[in-house]
């Protein structure tokens, strides 16, 4: 596993956090009456939050990050098992 691989995984964490933050902000704006719901946008954001981690992100963690951690750090096994 390279530093670039870790950067990709970290970037995906940041992208998901940004999507969640944006969704919270939009929901607050709708609730306060400052925004009107854009249902297509909301659907796309929720689909991203629902699908991307499971289909794109978690397989990378499992295949690359967790596999290497298992090989190199037995102490990490309980944490890895909880994350999987």
So what's the pLDDT on residue 44?
98
pLDDT tops 90 at residue 3: no
- What ranges do the domains of the chain cover? 3-83
Question: Binning pLDDT at 50, 70 and 90, where does residue 1 land?
Answer: low
The CA distance from 24 to 17, in Å, is 11
Q: Which residue has the higher pLDDT, 67 or 28?
A: 28
What does the pLDDT average to over 54-81?
Answer: 87
pLDDT tops 90 at residue 66: no
On whether the CB atoms of residues 1 and 68 are closer than 8 A, the answer is: yes
pLDDT in tens, 32-64: 999 999 999 999 999 999 999 999 999 998 888
């Amino acid at each position: 596993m390279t530093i670039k691989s870790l950067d990709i995984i970290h970037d995906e964490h940041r992208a998901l956090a940004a999507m969640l933050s944006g969704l919270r902000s939009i929901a607050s704006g709708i609730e306060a009456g400052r925004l009107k719901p854009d249902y297509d946008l909301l659907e796309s954001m929720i689909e991203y939050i629902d699908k991307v981690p499971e289909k794109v992100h978690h397989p990378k963690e499992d295949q690359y990050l967790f596999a290497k951690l298992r090989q190199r750090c037995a102490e990490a096994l309980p944490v890895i098992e909880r994350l999987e």
